[in-house]
Structure 1
Amino acid sequence: MDDSRIFKECLIVSLRTNDNSLIRTIDRIYKSQDQIFILDRSSDKIFIFDTYGKYQNNIHKIGQGPREYISLMDFYLDDALADEKLSTRKPSE
């Protein structure tokens, strides 16, 4: 099968990691215009890199308080709102 029927583009980006950006497993990758988001369910984090592979930040809000979650299941980016939408296991009420 021709890859161009599945992928719009193919890029090889070497990720420059540090102690805050060590990825155990890659469960999902999403590339926006200027960032790469990598879901690692084993650490309940979304790692954020620029398109050159430089680590920028992560999303990791484990806890039982407001805007926190017990575990991170999945995510998608809402391009129209430029916002992340998380699928999580919320704390029990």
Structure 2
Amino acid sequence: MEKEHLEVILESIDSKFDLVIEGYNTLDRKIDTFRAELKEDIALCNVRIDALGVKIDNVESRLSEKIDAVAADLSAHRADTEAHTIYRVRET
């Protein structure tokens, strides 16, 4: 009787271990899937950041060109003394 009782208990423990192992395997698959998705998302973010960096560089380049053009126009305007007949312009 004790042997049969012990066998029943061992079968119960065995089935519980099977459930634990099945749960572990399920979690392992979910973690692997999540990791793969996260890698894809990070790669996509890196591409977008690189593209944004290129856009910022382009804007900075165009802005620098415009500022240089305004500075050249201002220098030309200050050099033209005929444009200052009514008002006297001085640099401080």
TM over 0.5: no
The structure with more radius of gyration: 2
Structure number with the higher strand fraction is 1
Q: Which structure carries more relative contact order (alpha carbon 8 Å, separation 6+)?
A: 1
TM-score per shorter chain, which class? under 0.3
The two structures have a TM-score, normalised by structure 2, of: 0.17
Structure number with the higher helix fraction is 2
The two structures have a TM-score, normalised by structure 1, of: 0.17
